[in-house]
Amino acid sequence: MQTSIIVPIFNEVENVRLLVEQIGAVMDELPGRSELLLVDDGSTDGSADLLDELAAQDDRLVIVHFRRNYGQTAAMQAGLEQARGKYLVTLDGDLQNEPRDIPRMLEQLDQGYDLVHGWRRDRQDTLVTRKIPSRLANWIISKVTQFPIHDLGCTLKAMRHEIADELELYGEMHRFIPILAHWRGARCLEMVTTHHPRRYGTTKYGLSRTLRVVLDLLTVKYMLDYYSSPMKLFGRIGCYLLITGSAMLAGTVGMKLLADFDMTGNPLLVLGALMCIVSVQFFSVGLLGEANTRLYYRRNERRPFAIRNVVSQEESTSSTSLPLRRAA
């Protein structure tokens, strides 16, 4: 299997048939075998039955039905896990992404990139509820993560299978795929893609998900900087609190000795003691985090690094690139 195309579907009955036709026309032109995985995210408008009907007409279609609506990230994760292709492509099911951009993305993978993500530079959405919040969010995320990107919300992406294997998506993390892949050492490229206005149905996402995205951004920032060594974060905070609290206690004692100031009525005494106690708690959290990190990597046979390949010189052959099992 050369290419797997993954599309989450949630109540898109008006778009499904045309979507499959457009993607099918592109698949006809792709080299090698290809498959189309449509993940039904608990649709209740007849999309599920229509997907089964279309799958009976085209053996390249694979339908994954959820028992209920779990969200776009869960649908994306399920599709990535079921995909068999060397290259994986994701896009939305609302006909706003252009399937004919897929071959251009796959060409970039052939040229050595690990992940290509779309940039809807001429985005066809409402200004106040979609464009402005998206631009602001992309600017904040780019500054916080130090990853230069214009459009994290674009679902149209192409990646190598081994990159997808290293992703663990939950919450609203599907939008952070380029950042997570870059963190693992993937070579990423942002490409301008075509974006169409929505023709049928209504968007399933609005301003209500903003808070979830912000919380996931905090998670991503933590993963990027402190995932493999939590003590660097919690231990540092604990040190600051301990030093500050100790200084307050020392000041309280000094005020008693030099100015005979009542220690029991000095707020620095209570505040300093409290900060020292809280510092111990932060050290404890850091130690627990370190222990959990070690257990996670050991139990799941994972490593805090990723190896692209190993080149060795054998006596009877020339230099050879040796494939390795996935390290995550």
Nearest to 155 by CA among 214, 105, 225: 105
Residue 158 is assigned to a structural domain of this protein = yes
Q: Return the ∠ at Cα 292 (arms to 287 and 294), rounded to 5°.
A: 95
Q: Do residues 15 and 151 share a domain?
A: yes
Report the alpha-carbon distance of residue 323 to residue 309 in Å, rounded.
Answer: 6
Q: What is the 3-state secondary structure (H, E, C) of the chain?
A: CCEEEEEEECCCHHHHHHHHHHHHHHHHHCCCCEEEEEEECCCCCCHHHHHHHHHHHCCCEEEEECCCCCCHHHHHHHHHHHCCCCEEEECCCCCCECHHHHHHHHHHHHCCCCEEEEECCCCCCCHHHHHHHHHHHHHHHHHHHCCCCCCCCCCCEEEEHHHHHCCCCCCCHHHHHHHHHHHCCCCEEEEECCECCCCCCCCCCCHHHHHHHHHHHHHHHHHHHHCCCCHHHHHHHHHHHHHHHHHHHHHHHHHHHHHCCCCCCCHHHHHHHHHHHHHHHHHHHHHHHHHHHHHHHHHCCCCCCCCCCEEECCCCCCCEEECCCCCC
Q: Do residues 203 and 95 share a domain?
A: yes
Residue 71 is assigned to a structural domain of this protein = yes
Burial of 81: CB neighbours in 10 Å, binned 0-12, 13-18, 19+: middle
> Residues near 235 by Cβ (< 8 Å), separated by ≥ 6?
282, 283, 286
pLDDT the model gives residue 227: 75
Q: Do residues 51 and 144 share a domain?
A: yes
pLDDT the model gives residue 176: 84
Q: What CATH number is attached to the domain comprising 169?
A: 3.90.550.10
Pairing state of beta strands 115-119 and 310-312? unpaired
Look at residue 326 and tell me whether its pLDDT is greater than 50: no
Look at residue 298 and tell me whether its pLDDT is greater than 70: no
Q: What is the mean pLDDT of residues 285-314?
A: 66
Q: How confident is the model at residue 312 (pLDDT cuts 50, 70, 90)?
A: low
Q: Do residues 181 and 237 share a domain?
A: no
Residue 26 is assigned to a structural domain of this protein = yes
Residue 323 is assigned to a structural domain of this protein = no
Residue 320 is assigned to a structural domain of this protein = no
Residue 112 is assigned to a structural domain of this protein = yes
Q: Do residues 64 and 120 share a domain?
A: yes
Look at residue 84 and tell me whether its pLDDT is greater than 60: yes
Q: What percent of the chain has pLDDT over 90?
A: 27
Nearest to 60 by CA among 35, 39, 28, 33: 35
Of 294 and 95, which is predicted with more confidence? 95
Q: Do residues 195 and 78 share a domain?
A: yes
Q: Do residues 118 and 242 share a domain?
A: no
Q: What is the mean pLDDT of residues 11-28?
A: 92
Residue 317 is assigned to a structural domain of this protein = no
Look at residue 310 and tell me whether its pLDDT is greater than 60: no
pTM for the predicted model, two decimal places: 0.73
Q: Do residues 265 and 205 share a domain?
A: no
Last residue of a domain, which of 177, 207, 225? 225
Angle between helices 132-145 and 210-226 (to 10 degrees): 10
Of 17 and 328, which is predicted with more confidence? 17
Domain containing 272 equals 231-299
Q: What is the mean pLDDT of residues 304-314?
A: 55
Q: What is the mean pLDDT of residues 29-46?
A: 90
Q: Do residues 137 and 280 share a domain?
A: no
Of 297 and 318, which is predicted with more confidence? 297
Q: Do residues 101 and 209 share a domain?
A: yes
What are the pLDDT digits (tens) for 43-80?
888 888 999 999 989 889 999 998 888 888 888 888 89
Last residue of a domain, which of 202, 225, 248? 225
What are the pLDDT digits (tens) for 266-292?
888 889 899 999 999 988 888 888 887
pLDDT the model gives residue 140: 80
Look at residue 261 and tell me whether its pLDDT is greater than 50: yes
What are the pLDDT digits (tens) for 187-224?
999 999 988 888 876 766 555 566 677 777 777 787 77
What are the pLDDT digits (tens) for 226-258?
777 888 888 889 999 999 999 998 988 888 888
Task: Report residue 14 as tokens.
Answer: 């008006």
pLDDT the model gives residue 297: 61
Q: Do residues 56 and 36 share a domain?
A: yes
- Residues 130, 64, 300, 307, CA torsion sign: negative
Q: Do residues 123 and 67 share a domain?
A: yes
Report the alpha-carbon distance of residue 196 to residue 189 in Å, rounded.
Answer: 22
Look at residue 90 and tell me whether its pLDDT is greater than 90: yes
Look at residue 12 and tell me whether its pLDDT is greater than 70: yes
Number of domains in the chain: 2
Nearest to 119 by CA among 188, 38, 72, 187: 188
Residue 313 is assigned to a structural domain of this protein = no
What are the pLDDT digits (tens) for 107-159?
999 998 999 999 888 887 767 666 777 777 778 877 887 788 888 778 899 99
